[in-house]
């Protein structure tokens, strides 16, 4: 299975390149915390928890297919130094989830003029709570592409997603020889400002 990703500049304040990679760990992914650690790395999962990201583990996530509007996504926490101030608001994001089958789902988003596409993303959860995980290749100029991650969590309702949060994290900056990337296992946590992302 292939994945193609292009994602907005503001999340890491560097340009992310589109990529096509095999989705590592899909066959072994069972929605458990251990399988999330295997997919991302245990250190990345610990870094996500330290930022305040809640991983909704489980192998019976709700079907969240649809289009949702994340209004005024707001920076709630960061381990990037230096960085934007806590409380900074960014432009609205329209998130689309489709082709959900088992623990795989396709993800798209539009923010201002930036588009993101993640085919073959992973989803976990149970009841009405879920989390989604993507791995991304990023590149600035001629630097070696770095490995980054995007994760989303929330509570599904018939009218939208409650308490939606998303996190961006550096997995492997390849030694950062040019000094252009953020440090490994650092990133940002953002949330919908009013706590509810309505279904469109």
Q: Which pLDDT value is given to residue 120?
A: 67
Model-wide pTM > 0.85: no
Helix (H, G, I), strand (E, B) or coil at 40: helix
Across the chain, how many H-helices and E-strands are there? Answer: 2, 13
Q: Which pLDDT value is given to residue 3?
A: 39
Q: CA 7, CA 167: separation in Å to the nearest integer?
A: 13
Higher pLDDT pick, 2 / 84: 84
Which neighbouring-strand residues pair with 196? 162
Domain ranges within the chain, ordered by starting residue: 2-198
Per-residue pLDDT reduced to its tens digit, 120-170: 699 999 999 999 999 888 777 788 888 889 999 999 999 999 999 999 999
């Amino acid at each position: 299975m292939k994945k193609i990703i292009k994602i907005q500049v503001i999340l890491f304040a560097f340009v992310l390149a589109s990529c096509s990679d095999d989705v590592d760990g899909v066959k072994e992914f069972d929605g458990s915390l251990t399988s999330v650690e295997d997919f991302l790395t245990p250190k990345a999962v610990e870094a996500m928890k330290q930022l305040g990201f809640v991983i909704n583990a489980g192998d019976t996530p709700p079907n969240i297919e649809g289009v949702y509007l994340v209004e005024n996504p707001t920076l709630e926490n960061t381990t990037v130094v230096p960085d934007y101030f806590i409380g900074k608001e960014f432009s609205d994001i329209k998130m689309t989830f489709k082709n959900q089958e088992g623990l795989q789902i396709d993800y798209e988003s539009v923010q201002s003029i930036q588009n993101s596409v993640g085919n073959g993303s992973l989803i976990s959860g149970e009841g009405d709570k879920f989390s989604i995980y993507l791995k991304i290749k990023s590149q600035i100029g001629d630097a070696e592409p770095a490995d980054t991650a995007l994760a989303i969590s929330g509570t599904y309702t018939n009218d939208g997603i409650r308490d939606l949060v998303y996190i961006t994290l550096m997995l492997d900056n390849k030694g950062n020889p040019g000094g252009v990337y953020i440090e490994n296992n650092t990133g940002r946590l953002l949330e919908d400002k009013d706590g509810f992302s309505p279904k469109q």
